[in-house]
Structure 1
Amino acid sequence: MIENFGTNVLSYFAANQGWVHLFLWTIFAIGILQNLISALQLPFAYFELKRHSQTEDTESNWQLLISEEAPAMSILVPAYNESATIVANVRSMLFVQYPNLEIVVANDGSTDNTLDELKNAFSLEPVTRAHELVAPHEPIRGVYGSKLYPNLLVVDKENGGCKADAVNAALNFSRNPLYCVVDADSLLEPEALLRSVRPFMEEPDEMVAVGGTIRVLNGCTVENGEIVKFDLPQRFLPLVQSMEYIRAFLMARLAWSSWGMLSIVSGAFGIFRRDVSLEIGGWSLDTIGEDYDFVVKLHRYMADKKRAYKMRYVPEPVCWTEAPEDLKILKSQRTRWQRGALEVAFKNKDMVFNPKYGKFGMFAMPNNYLVDVIGPLAELIGYLVLPLFFFLGWINYPYLLAFIAIFFVFGTFIGVSTLVLEELELQRSPRASDLLKLGLVAVLENFGYRQLNSIWRVIGWYQFIRKVEGWGEMTRKGDKK
């Protein structure tokens, strides 16, 4: 029966060559459009980096940043079953250089000993803390403070089933006008908040969100919650993710920030205005892509209220996070990301090409549909169908070669160009051998790894259709000291 079906499909396509060519040119056009947008991003990313670079700050600028002029900030840390890393990461946040800072950890009903680890490491005791009940979340079980660390607060709550629930609880308990969301498995560089708060100081009335850079922690040596030695990961999976993160943050987000159409501020490291966040009811609990959803929600709210606003990505502040080191965990992460992107896309489909939402609705949302909704399906279909059509003689060699150039050669060009951009402006790689290794990865990822990601994203599409819920498996090595 399956053989008959396959034969019938091939017979249909063979008899309808016009439809075959229309189908192939559609796939081809989608690839060209995505690559043209990527090519356009490179120069804009470069000029945005030059315009807002903080690598040559004068002493007077730094004195301003560490003065009382810097707005008070809260670090919100949602934590679920993070006993392996939570103490080291909270210590790293206590080392962050910032004049007026509080840390609010929300233990989201962990089933391991996350809360006990915090109690023992920081001498926590029950306290009473007045708080608002604006952003929705599950009931609070207890609140803990420390005489040794008066700027640390731990909120213990029942599990909400999503990260946004824990963020909302910490948001309600926070007291400062700005807050920074940091994943419990991440480490902030000591100067990260000082660098990322500058846009709020430059444009305090309009700035509502600022995103920083996420880098892969695997391979680095950590002591007492601080990175004492930088090294690239030794294993291929976290190494190729290092290249992905550099490309995604340094090129794509810089460019969209330059255009005033930033679509996402990473939930692993982003700074937001507390008052506006409470005005929109906090973080949504009905999506797995809570960070993407929240930023789109901000765009929608500010446009609906006809209020001037800005968002910016700042490349210098870095937050380090542990990347998955095995395929099973990585697949779970990527299918979840795809489900989250689709949830946000269809939830906000009325914003697409809607002039009410300005250039974000006219350009950013259509691009998100191209990349997140159409892109994964078109790319995987191209990988599977074009070689088959070539061997059947339905397409010629130049067409197949053009497809390879679009999806393989151009992908390599973008990756290598991003590395050049980073080295010219930020110089984050201390050794030439690291640049060579990342350059090699930028080539190799296009031959196998990229195709595997396409498969995972299509699986995410299937899970979205089937209404699969939950975060999936995500384990930590816990080798931080």
Structure 2
Amino acid sequence: MMSDWAHYATLGAGILAWLIIALGLIQTLVYLLQLLVAAYALSRRPPVTRSALLWHRYADIAPPIALIVPAYNEEMNIVESVHSMLALEYPNFEVVVVNDGSKDQTLQRLIEGFRLVKFQRPHEDALKHKPIRGLYSSPMNERLFVVDKENGGKADAQNAGINVCRAPVFCVIDGDSILEPDALMRAVQPFIEDPERVIAVGGTIRIANGSRIESGRVQEVNLPRRWLPLFQIVEYLRAFLMARLAWSRINTLMLVSGAFGVFRRAEVVAVGGFTKGSMGEDLDLVIKLHRHMIDAGRPYRIQFIPEPVCWTEAPETLGVLGRQRSRWQRGALECFFRYRSMLFRPRYGRVGFLGLGHILVVDVLGPIAEVLGYVLIPVSWFLGFLSTPYMLAFAALVFVYGVCVSVGSLVLEEMELQRFPRARDLAILTLAAVVENFGYRQLNNFWRIKGWWQYLRSDQNWGEMTRTGLSGARK
């Protein structure tokens, strides 16, 4: 009896190992296609327009825009970030900072930094959110408004900002982020060129750790000295200059980052704004927009363009980074299962098949398959289901392919943005792209498994995201 049980157990382990290998090969194919499509998309893009020419061409027709900045415990960076926003090169905009019941000195820093005073401003109640405790304006700058409200989470704060703002287009940006001066003008370009169809645009998020920042602007781009933010730079290049550029090319972009995204207000209000309590409110909103536009039978575009750049601070410790990645995983799972009825339905076309299919393979099944693979493939080799040459060849393929994808993303960065002026920086990032495959990638998957467990337990804890501050720091 025991021998039969052992036989079936080992056979099952072998079959599961082969399924994991098959899933890994599917992910490999997806990443390769993304890289090729992204390279093609970049090759078809016109040369990057200089900022002065962009202003001359679009300043008179650029739509009014509101920057909505949800801020919770952002005392380290909030004043610097707001200064950078007020200095943006855009003809008609307002900055709406939403203090979401911060427990630190975020509101006080804003009051002191901009001499805020309370005022009254009529606003809509199109979207539900926690009560507003007060509205503030600044005699120093008429573009700045601050909303102080009870804590309700990031999505709740963004909905409050949407209600208070008056512009037809709004941009959401994290309170710890810094926009490049021409970022807004570049981000609204698709709205100007295709006003009937474009409903959302995402830009590039870059890691500011290590760079010199003065007066709310990145004055000198430098690499961080620590491995952890270096690995994140490589990750962000893969996510933005490869994956999102590729999905945007076929109008199947499923994520416009909550750290920097531009949306048409009317469509966002029509879908009920950001979903309160969601761990992945940015992913959730984009999926809702896809569903709304397809159900309504309206032609539309949700685009990613690489030229508008937003700089943000990356976590510097394993604890903070782990909480962030587990939360991202929970957000992806929430959104997938909330909108699972769209999966593989012909009605939703590429969004249902490619967009949600990608989330299924990479975010839902991916971390489970990879972590199981760390265990089952060596076990299958030990039991004789996998030959030694095959196992070594597969392991080499996985690692070499991971390096090639990351290096390919660096090539795309050099083709398009060229934010790393020194060859030494590119060499260091290439080394990071190699080293991340030996430990960091595996650790990320364990964090994502933790996110799976938290999702199954309905854990809604956001987790503290400790900041060290961007101002003038080299980390």
Q: TM-score, normalised by structure 2?
A: 0.96
What is the deviation of 1:61?
4.4
Q: Within 5 A, what are the aligned runs for 1:241-260?
A: 241-260=232-251
Q: Name the SS for the 2:460 alignment partner.
A: coil
Give the corresponding residue for 2:65: 73
Give the corresponding residue for 1:400: 391
Pairing partner for 1:149 from 141, 153, 162: 141
Give the corresponding residue for 1:329: 320
> Any conservation in 1 of the 2:208–2:311 contact (CA below 8 Å)?
yes
- 1:417 and 2:413 equivalent? no
- Aligned CA distance change for structure 1 residues 115 and 458 (closer, same or farther; 3 Å): same
Give the corresponding residue for 2:109: 117
Q: Within 5 A, what are the aligned runs for 1:13-92?
A: 13-15=6-8, 17-57=10-50, 60-65=53-58, 67-92=59-84
> Any conservation in 1 of the 2:10–2:383 contact (CA below 8 Å)?
no
- Aligned CA distance change for structure 1 residues 387 and 277 (closer, same or farther; 3 Å): same
What is the deviation of 1:423?
1.1
Give the corresponding residue for 1:5: none
Pairing partner for 1:261 from 252, 260, 277: 252
What is the deviation of 1:13?
5.0
Q: Within 5 A, what are the aligned runs for 1:131-142?
A: 131-142=123-134
- C-alpha root-mean-square deviation of aligned residues, in Å? 1.7
- 1:305 and 2:296 equivalent? yes
Pairing partner for 1:470 from 442, 461, 464: 461
> Any conservation in 2 of the 1:50–1:425 contact (CA below 8 Å)?
no
What is the deviation of 1:422?
1.5
How far apart in 1 are the matches of 2:179 and 2:325? 24
> Any conservation in 2 of the 1:71–1:178 contact (CA below 8 Å)?
yes
Pairing partner for 2:374 from 373, 383, 386: 383
What is the deviation of 1:250?
0.3
**Counterpart amino acid of residue 374 in structure 2:** Y
> Any conservation in 1 of the 2:101–2:149 contact (CA below 8 Å)?
yes
Give the corresponding residue for 1:3: none
**Counterpart amino acid of residue 103 in structure 1:** V
What is the deviation of 1:374?
0.5
**Counterpart amino acid of residue 340 in structure 2:** K
> Any conservation in 1 of the 2:14–2:380 contact (CA below 8 Å)?
no
- Aligned CA distance change for structure 1 residues 15 and 300 (closer, same or farther; 3 Å): closer
- Aligned CA distance change for structure 1 residues 266 and 273 (closer, same or farther; 3 Å): same
Gaps of 5+ in 1: 1-7
Deviates more, 1:113-122 or 1:19-28: 19-28
Query: What per-residue deviation string (whole Å, max 9, x for no partner) do you get for residues 212-259 of structure 1?
Result: 000111001111111111101111101110110011100000000001
Q: Within 5 A, what are the aligned runs for 1:186-335?
A: 186-335=177-326
How far apart in 1 are the matches of 2:300 and 2:6? 51
> Any conservation in 2 of the 1:13–1:19 contact (CA below 8 Å)?
no
Give the corresponding residue for 1:451: 442
Percent of aligned positions that are identical: 50
How far apart in 1 are the matches of 2:67 and 2:128? 19
How far apart in 1 are the matches of 2:189 and 2:358? 29
How far apart in 2 are the matches of 1:10 and 1:135? 63
**Counterpart amino acid of residue 124 in structure 1:** L
> Any conservation in 2 of the 1:288–1:470 contact (CA below 8 Å)?
no
Give the corresponding residue for 1:100: 92
Give the corresponding residue for 1:130: 122
How far apart in 2 are the matches of 1:9 and 1:437? 54
What is the deviation of 1:427?
1.6
- Aligned CA distance change for structure 1 residues 474 and 218 (closer, same or farther; 3 Å): same
How far apart in 2 are the matches of 1:12 and 1:373? 30
How far apart in 2 are the matches of 1:320 and 1:134? 31
Q: Name the SS for the 2:282 alignment partner.
A: helix
- Aligned CA distance change for structure 1 residues 48 and 329 (closer, same or farther; 3 Å): same
Query: What per-residue deviation string (whole Å, max 9, x for no partner) do you get for residues 334-372 of structure 1?
Result: 000000000000000000001111211122111111111
Q: TM-score, normalised by structure 1?
A: 0.95
How far apart in 2 are the matches of 1:453 and 1:415? 16
Query: What per-residue deviation string (whole Å, max 9, x for no partner) do you get for residues 170-229 of structure 1?
Result: 110001111000000000000111111111111101100000000111001111111111
**Counterpart amino acid of residue 33 in structure 2:** L
What is the deviation of 1:88?
0.4
Q: Name the SS for the 1:30 alignment partner.
A: helix
What is the deviation of 1:52?
3.0
What is the deviation of 1:479?
4.6
How far apart in 1 are the matches of 2:42 and 2:201? 15
- 1:173 and 2:191 equivalent? no
- 1:427 and 2:418 equivalent? yes
